[in-house]
Amino acid sequence: MKLTVVAATGGIGRHLVGQAVAAGHHVTAVARGPRDMPAGVRVVAVDLTRPDMRALASAVRGADAVLSALGPRNPRADAGITSQGTRAIVTAMHAENVRRLVIVSAAPVGPVPVPGQPTAPRHDPGDGFFMRYLGTPLTHAMFGRHYADLAAAEQILRDSGLEWTVSRPPKLTDKPLTGRYRTALNRNIRGGFSVPRADVAHHMLAVIDQPETIKQVIGIAS
């Protein structure tokens, strides 16, 4: 397949590029300053804080899927980049008639809206007592602007008309790829406190060809 990876030099992005190349895909890497990419990877420099839409459109042109690992380097200082960048990616994909998009969000974002339900549940159905009353409130107190931005990015996808999937991991680690992780549609993973970045990338690549994940939020954890 032809895949475009956005934020290709980040923690998850590097794994996406490496695993996609190893699987034999044709990869275009998009980043502010793409460097040290594997041989054969097409590189397109785009700063998603000030996106060059012509360059971004060229990066997604002809792609079977776009995978975005976009997120702030400093969640407290750089909040806003994910929704801004996601909006630019969606615009570029519409311009080039590319349909499939998979992005990374985060487990503490909150309950997933359910069609036909006037109000979202107060708590994520996958969260246990600790996460509901201590873990999630604490992370929101520390990084509330960041999670609000991720929620805005998810809403951009819901409004996009694209074939999107959102991956919501908890705490990310740099442990090696295991290929063993738990997933759940539209809810967090009970007792899932962390997951390797490499496993998140592995799952993002896997869902590209899983139609049942289209327009779904997927919790993932070890």
As a whole number, the mean pLDDT across the chain is 88
Chain segment 49-98, per-residue pLDDT in tens: 999 999 999 999 999 999 999 987 766 556 689 999 999 999 999 999 99
Chain segment 31-53, per-residue pLDDT in tens: 998 888 999 999 999 999 999 99
**Which pair of tokens denotes residue 3?**
């895949």
* Structure confidence at residue 133 as a pLDDT band (50, 70, 90): very low
Least confident of 46-50, 60-64, 126-130, 190-194: 126-130
Chain segment 163-183, per-residue pLDDT in tens: 999 999 999 999 999 999 999
pLDDT score, position 41: 97
Query: How far is the C-alpha of 56 from the C-alpha of 16, rounded, in Å?
Result: 18
pLDDT score, position 146: 73
Domains and CATH numbers, the chain: 2-221 (3.40.50.720)
Q: Are residues 169 and 183 in contact, defined by beta-carbon separation less than 8 angstroms?
A: no
* Structure confidence at residue 141 as a pLDDT band (50, 70, 90): very low
Helix (H/G/I), strand (E/B), else coil: 155: helix
